[in-house]
Chain A
Amino acid sequence: MVCESWKAKLDTYLDGEVPEKEMRTFDAHVRTCPSCSADALTRVQMKRAIQVAGKRFTPSAEFRKRMQQSIAPKRQRSFRLGWMLAAAAAVILVAGSLSSAYLGIRSARDLAYRDHVYSEIADLHVATLASSSPVDVISTDRHTVKPWFQGKIPFAFNLPELRNSEFSLLGGRMTYLDQTPGAHLIYDVRKHHISVFVFQERSLKLPASLGENSLSPKKLPFNMETWSQGGLRYFVIGDASTADINNLAKLFKTTSS
Chain B
Amino acid sequence: MGFARNDRHDRSVCLATRSDRTSSPETNCFIEGNKCPPPMFYYVDVSGAELQPDSFEELAMPLFDQLYNFAHWLTQNREEAEDLVQETYAKALKGFPSFQLGTNFRAWMYRILRNTFLTSRTGLKATMTVPLDLEEDGPEVAVERDTPETLLFDRTNRELLQQTIDELPVYFREILLLCEVEEMSYQEMAETLSIPVGTVMSRLSRARKTLRDRLRPQVQVGAGSAATAQRTNHGL
- Distance of A129 from chain B, by nearest CB (Å): 78
- For residue A52, CB closer than 8 A to chain B, the reply is yes
Could you give, for residues 10-30 of chain A, a 1 whenever the CB lies within 8 Å of some chain B CB and a 0 otherwise?
A: 011111111010010011001
Nearest residue, chain B, Cβ from A41: B3
Interface residues of chain A: helix, strand, loop or mixed (majority)? helix
B140 lies within 8 A of chain A by Cβ: yes
Q: Does B4 contact A (CB under 8 A)?
A: yes
- A46 and B5 within 8 A (CB): no
Contacts of A11 in B (CB 8 A): 139-140, 204-205, 208
Cβ contact within 8 Å between B69 and A55: yes
B59 to chain A, nearest CB (A): 11
| Contact between A42 and B143, CB atoms less than 8 A apart | yes
- The answer to whether B185 touches A64 (Cβ under 8 A) is no
Contact of B4 among A26, A46, A49, A67 (CB under 8 A): A26
CB distance from B11 to the nearest CB of A (A): 9
Q: Mark A106-150, 1 if CB is under 8 A from B, else 0.
A: 000000000000000000000000000000000000000000000
How distant is B185 from chain A, measured CB to nearest CB, in Å? 7
CA of A34 to CA of B64, assembled, Å: 42
Interface size on A, residues (CB 8 A): 51
Contact of B161 among A41, A49, A67 (CB under 8 A): A49
CA distance A11 to B141 in the complex (A): 9
Q: Is A7 among interface residues, defined by CB-CB distance under 8 A?
A: yes
Within 8 A of A (CB), among B154-202: 156, 158, 161-162, 165, 176-177, 179-181, 183, 185-186, 201
Check A205 for interface membership: any CB of B closer than 8 A.
no
Residues of B within 8 Å of A55, CB to CB, are 69, 181
Stretch at the interface among B85-93, B106-114, B119-127: B85-93
| B61: A residues at CB distance < 8 A | 67-68, 71-72
Is A53 part of the contact surface with B, judged by Cβ < 8 Å? yes
- Of A26, A31, A56, which one neighbours B1 at CB under 8 angstroms? A31
Decide if A79 is an interface residue (CB 8 Å cutoff). Answer: yes
Chain B stretch 52-82: residues in CB contact (< 8 A) with chain A: 53-54, 56-57, 60-61, 64-65, 68-69, 72-73, 78, 81-82
**Beta-carbon contact of A23 and B165 below 8 Å:** no
**Alpha-carbon separation in the docked complex, A237 to B160 (Å):** 111
In the bound complex, residues from chain B placing their C-beta under 8 Å from that of A12 are 139, 201
Query: Is the Cβ of A67 less than 8 Å from the Cβ of B85?
Result: yes
The answer for the CA separation of A122 and B201 in the assembled complex, in Å, is: 103
Complex contacts, A66 vs chain B, CB 8 Å:
86
Complex Cα spacing A26 to B3, Å: 9
User: Shortest beta-carbon distance, A195 to chain B, in Å?
Assistant: 73
CA distance A213 to B59 in the complex (A): 70
Is the pair A59, B68 in contact by a Cβ cutoff of 8 Å?
Answer: yes
Which residue of chain B has its CB nearest to the CB of A73? B57
CB of A76 within 8 A of CB of B54, answer yes
Complex Cα–Cα for A42 and B154 (A): 11
Q: Report the minimum CB–CB distance from A35 to chain B (whole Å).
A: 9
What are the residues of chain B within 8 A of A40 when measuring CB–CB? 3
Task: Give CA–CA (A49, B152) in the complex, Å.
Answer: 7
Report if B9 contacts A (CB, 8 A): yes
A257 an interface residue at 8 Å Cβ cutoff? no
Chain A residues contacting B141 (CB-CB under 8 Å) are: 4, 7-8
**A231–B2 Cα gap in the complex (Å)?**
106
A56→B140 contact, CB < 8 A = no
The answer to whether the Cβ of A152 comes within 8 Å of any Cβ in the partner chain is: no
Contact across chains for B64 and A51 when beta carbons are under 8 A apart: no
B3 adjacent to A23 (CB under 8 Å): no
Q: Which 10 A-B pairs have the closest CB atoms?
A: A54-B181, A57-B72, A16-B8, A16-B5, A27-B2, A45-B153, A46-B149, A59-B68, A42-B149, A40-B3
Interface residues, chain B, with chain A CB atoms under 8 Å away: 1-9, 53-54, 56-57, 60-61, 64-65, 68-69, 72-73, 78, 81-82, 85-86, 89-90, 93, 138-141, 143, 147-150, 152-153, 156, 158, 161-162, 165, 176-177, 179-181, 183, 185-186, 201, 204-205, 208, 211-212
